[in-house]
Structure 1
Amino acid sequence: MLSILQAAGWPIIPLVLCSIVALALVIERFLSLREARVAPSRLVDEVISVTRSGLPSADTVNKLAENSVLGLLLAQGLRAALAEPRISDANLRAAFESAGRDAVHQMERNLNALGTIASAAPLMGLLGTVIGMIEIFGASGAATGSAGANPMELAHGISVALYNTAFGLIVAIPSLMFYRHFRARIDAYTVAMEQAAERMVPHLLRLTSSRR
């Protein structure tokens, strides 16, 4: 592998760096987008059960915000209800929508970088191949003026230049697959959070109406 990297020349160095960054991003996103850290399946039911008799204390809301991304979303709705005892349906929904935008932004962190690597890696590989081909034909043109170009050396040089394209695709294809996977997971979490907010709005409105 080291000999291939050496033969491919300096244009493959950015691709190697991209592969390292892409691997780090994939590992980080796998850890950050786990269900337990984003949207625990029973969290909404637990929150509704705990708040059935009344709104919780500020300490309980803070602990909920530290539970997960969904917990932070629910905590923002509870804080809005605590801050405004006679909160309207529109204001409560606006609080959830604002918290939802923050949650989506948090889930999408570093995802654009992975998508950029997936898009740029093939182009970087092609650039390395073009640079290699220019060097090969430049050298063969100089050799033609003297003893003539060796076909074996020319074929070897072309294969070496194509290493850049191959390595670019090796980096791009898994990056694109993981990008699509994480995007689909975020979309699913977003739908789950929207459904959770829809369940919490009437529940909180009932609690606030009982305090009037």
Structure 2
Amino acid sequence: MFSIIRDAGWPIWPLLLCSIAALALIIERLVSLRAVKVAPPNLLEEVISVSRSSLPGADVVNKLAHNSVLGLVLATGLRAVIAEPRITEEALRNAFENAGRVAVHKLERYLNTLGTLASAAPLMGLFGTVIGMIEIFGSPTASGGSNPLMLAHGISVALYNTAFGLIIAIPSLMFYRYFRGLVDAYALELEQSSERMVPHLMRFAVPRGSSH
């Protein structure tokens, strides 16, 4: 492996950095996009159950906000109703929508970078191969002159860069697509949970015309 890296020349070093960055991003997103950290399965039902008869206290809401991404969105709706008892349904929906947008933006963190690495790695590999070809054909004595075996060896070494670029790009693209689908699924779940919470929380809102 080290001999391949040495023979491939300096263009392979940026590819090595890309591979390290892509691996780090994939591991980070695998950890951050787990269901337990984004949308625990029974969280919505638990929140509805706890707030069935009355709104929870500030400590419970704060604990919910730190529970997960979904917990933060639900806590935003609870805080909106607690802070403004006369809140309208439209205002409550806006609070949920704003919290949802922030949550989705958080879930999409680093995905553009991973997608860029997946797109750039093959081009960087091709660039390294072109540089290798230029060096081979620009310096006949370095490749053994008219010796076809030496020339073939030089070309195969130059192609290491393209191969390495593809090795980085293929898994990076696969994980990028996987994470993008996961984020879309979570975004839909956040939206549906918010829709269920709106009528549930509006039961606690004081009508505008009421004096109480």
- What is the TM-score of this pair, normalised by structure 1? 0.95
> Which residue does 1:175 correspond to in 2?
172
Tell me, yes or no, if the aligned pair for 1:78 and 1:204 is still in contact at 8 Å: yes
Q: Secondary structure at the match of 2:139?
A: helix
> Which residue does 2:149 correspond to in 1?
152
Letter of the structure 1 residue corresponding to residue 89 of structure 2: D
Q: Secondary structure at the match of 1:208?
A: coil
> Which residue does 2:128 correspond to in 1?
128
> Which residue does 2:194 correspond to in 1?
197
Structure 1: runs of 5+ lacking an equivalent: none
Q: Secondary structure at the match of 2:30?
A: helix
Matches within 5 A, 1:47-86: 47-86=47-86
> Which residue does 1:185 correspond to in 2?
182
For the aligned residue pairs, the C-alpha RMSD in angstroms reads: 1.6
Tell me, yes or no, if the aligned pair for 2:86 and 2:206 is still in contact at 8 Å: yes
Question: How many angstroms apart in 1 are the aligned matches of 2:31 and 2:13?
Answer: 28
Task: Give the deviation of 1:110 after TM superposition.
Answer: 1.1
Letter of the structure 1 residue corresponding to residue 147 of structure 2: N
> Which residue does 1:2 correspond to in 2?
2
Question: How many angstroms apart in 1 are the aligned matches of 2:13 and 2:100?
Answer: 40
Letter of the structure 2 residue corresponding to residue 174 of structure 1: P
Tell me, yes or no, if the aligned pair for 1:121 and 1:168 is still in contact at 8 Å: yes
Tell me, yes or no, if the aligned pair for 2:136 and 2:142 is still in contact at 8 Å: no
Tell me, yes or no, if the aligned pair for 1:5 and 1:12 is still in contact at 8 Å: yes
Task: Give the deviation of 1:109 after TM superposition.
Answer: 1.0
Task: Give the deviation of 1:172 after TM superposition.
Answer: 0.2
> Which residue does 2:205 correspond to in 1?
208
Letter of the structure 2 residue corresponding to residue 135 of structure 1: E
1:166 aligns with 2:184: no
Tell me, yes or no, if the aligned pair for 1:25 and 1:110 is still in contact at 8 Å: yes
Question: How many angstroms apart in 2 are the aligned matches of 1:133 and 1:189?
Answer: 47
Tell me, yes or no, if the aligned pair for 1:143 and 1:149 is still in contact at 8 Å: no
Question: How many angstroms apart in 2 are the aligned matches of 1:32 and 1:207?
Answer: 34
Question: How many angstroms apart in 1 are the aligned matches of 2:67 and 2:87?
Answer: 25
Letter of the structure 2 residue corresponding to residue 175 of structure 1: S
Q: Secondary structure at the match of 1:207?
A: coil
Q: Secondary structure at the match of 2:203?
A: helix
Task: Give the deviation of 1:143 after TM superposition.
Answer: 7.1
Distance 1:194 1:143, change over 3 A: closer
- What is the TM-score of this pair, normalised by structure 2? 0.95
Tell me, yes or no, if the aligned pair for 1:92 and 1:201 is still in contact at 8 Å: yes
Tell me, yes or no, if the aligned pair for 2:87 and 2:205 is still in contact at 8 Å: yes
Question: How many angstroms apart in 1 are the aligned matches of 2:185 and 2:45?
Answer: 18
